[in-house]
Amino acid sequence: MTATRIAVRGADPYEVVIGAGVLGELPGLLGGKVRTVAVVHDESLPEIAGPVVKALEESGHAVHALPVPAGEAAKEVGVLAGLWSRFARIGITRSDAVVGVGGGATTDLAGFAAASWLRGVKAVLVPTTLLGMVDAAVGGKTGINIAEGKNLVGAFHPPAGVLCDLTTLMTMPHEDYISGLAEIVKAGFIADPRILDLVEDDPAGAASPAGPHTRELVERAVRVKADVVSADLRESGLREILNYGHTLGHAIEKAEDYRFRHGHAVAIGMVYAAELGRLAGRLSADLVERHRTVLTSVGLPTAYAADAWPVLRDGMRVDKKARGATLRFVVLDGLARPARLEGPDEDLLAAAYREIAQ
């Protein structure tokens, strides 16, 4: 089957290439002028990073493999500084490139390293997880974490291309794959209800990379994100809808010291946002319940600890959508009708949390 190419438009347009066994597309995404390539890869993925390095070497590039810690441990200032030093030693210039290979944390780090080195060099991202393919690698948002919050330090740096080889999904741990489904379900609620139909028709298939609709689910979710970021790269308005479920979700991740899977946290955050919308008179109870049934059907959580509210409320104060002291939520006014709720009353916030407390 041929590769699918989804265009991300804007001042720096690029393509997301999706298919099985599409690694041969990588040199073309880099372009003909790049000579030296730093392959920043998750150290736990040598079986994937190796073929990437080989493909680039066979196309005439000087390649340097730079392993980084797995998962969120990669998104630390010390790891970033280490990459800068290695870029200097191997001589990465403005005509060279960085290729990021791994999950969302790795591509976030690689993208920010590229954005900040020499004020910006070319980056191509090769996400190897479901979450990376449908969310982190598409859209040009890069960043690292600090103790005070997730992704608070970063830059908008569109890649030169994104390569999603669906065969890499077959090697993912099951719970990590399920985590990535949260972002796909999110795309269904905010923009493409057909995604929800596909999941509801075959939850077991949706929960497996070998399912009959895996490619369609990935492509639909990528199209949703591509359409949004094409219209709003720098999150000045429309792009905020992609943060549906993330305000509480990021607070959960922070409270769990980033040991809680991103998609699991976002799933809980989506149900919270739905309850918030219902209590504000903007969303039907039936659609709130659909959140719970769809997410539960694929094994995602929809509730969190009852006594955690004070910590989570404090964690939301540094949410990126906040403006000064005003907290802003993405909510739904109906299926595929995302909107904003600004400065909700504290009692309303607490009441919505009670609906998801366990």
**Which fold, 4-171?**
Rossmann fold (3.40.50)
Position 71 pLDDT exceeds 70: yes
**77 DSSP 8-state letter:** H
Determine which one of 43, 216, 235, 256 is catalytic: 235
> What tens digit of pLDDT does each residue of 3-36 get?
999 999 988 889 999 999 898 899 999 987 899 9
Q: Is 246 annotated as a binding residue?
A: yes
Is 151 among the residues known to form the active site? no
Q: Is 326 annotated as a binding residue?
A: no
Determine which one of 250, 254, 264, 291 is catalytic: 250
Determine which one of 72, 183, 219, 275 is catalytic: 183
Percentage of residues in the chain with pLDDT exceeding 70? 96
With beta carbons less than 8 A apart as the criterion, state whether 245 and 186 touch: yes
* b/e per residue 12-37 (b: at least 16 CB within 10 A): eebbbbbbeebbebbbebbeeebebb
Cα(113)–Cα(108) distance, rounded to whole angstroms?
9
Determine which one of 41, 61, 141, 292 is catalytic: 141
Determine which one of 61, 75, 243, 253 is catalytic: 243
Determine which one of 223, 246, 264, 291 is catalytic: 246
Please tell me the predicted confidence (pLDDT) of residue 320. Answer: 55
For 214-220, what is the mean pLDDT? 97
Q: Is 110 annotated as a binding residue?
A: no
Residue 1, Cβ density class (10 Å: 0-12 exposed, 13-18 middle, ≥19 buried): exposed
Query: Mind giving me the DSSP string for 224-240?
Result: HHHHHHHH-TT-SSGGG
In sequence order, what are the residues at sequence separation of 6 or more whose Cβ sits closer than 8 angstroms to the Cβ of residue 111? Answer: 98, 100, 123, 125, 140, 141, 142, 157, 159
Determine which one of 122, 215, 220, 225 is catalytic: 225
| 3-class SS of residue 304 | strand
Q: Is 41 annotated as a binding residue?
A: no
Q: Is 320 annotated as a binding residue?
A: no
Is 264 among the residues known to form the active site? no
Q: Regarding beta strands 149-156 and 141-146, do their DSSP bridges make them parallel or antiparallel, or are they unpaired?
A: antiparallel
Is 141 among the residues known to form the active site? yes
Position 112 pLDDT exceeds 60: yes
Q: Is 20 annotated as a binding residue?
A: no
CATH number of 174-354: 1.20.1090.10
Q: Is 289 annotated as a binding residue?
A: no
- Return the higher-pLDDT residue of 139 and 87: 87
For 240-257, what is the mean pLDDT? 93
Is 246 among the residues known to form the active site? yes
Q: Is 264 annotated as a binding residue?
A: no
Is 250 among the residues known to form the active site? yes
Is 235 among the residues known to form the active site? yes
Is 174 among the residues known to form the active site? no
Mean pLDDT computed over every residue of the chain: 92
> What tens digit of pLDDT does each residue of 305-332 get?
999 999 999 999 876 555 556 889 999 9
Is 243 among the residues known to form the active site? yes
Domain boundary assignment for the chain: 4-171, 174-354
Q: Is 170 annotated as a binding residue?
A: yes
**Domain 4-171 and domain 174-354 have a common topology:** no
Is 122 among the residues known to form the active site? no
**172 DSSP 8-state letter:** S
